[in-house]
A and B are shown apart, each in its own frame.
Chain A
Amino acid sequence: MMLSIKNIHANIEGKAILKGINLDIKAGEVHAIMGPNGSGKSTLAAVLAGREEYEVTEGTISFLDKNLLDLSIEDRARAGLFLAFQYPVEIPGVSTTNFIKAAVNEKRKYNGQEPLDALAFLKVMKEKMAMVEIDQSLLSRSINEGFSGGEKKRNEIFQMAMLEPKLAILDETDSGLDIDALRIVANGINQLRNEHRAILLITHYQRLLDYIQPDYVHVLYNGRIVKSGSKELALELEEKGYDFITDETDLTAKA
Chain B
Amino acid sequence: MAFPSNMTRSERDPKVLRSGPSSLSSSDRLARNLGWFSIDLGIVEFIAAEKVTGALGMRGKENLVRAYGIREIASGVMTLSVDKRAGLNSRIAGDALDIATLATAIRPENPKRDNAVLAMLMVAGVTLLDFVATGAHTVRHIRHSGERRSYSDRSGFAEGVEASRATARKKLGDLRTSSVNEGPPTKKTSGADSV
Q: Are A and B co-members of a single complex?
A: no
Q: Which residues of A contact B (CB under 8 A)?
A: none
Q: Which residues of B contact A (CB under 8 A)?
A: none
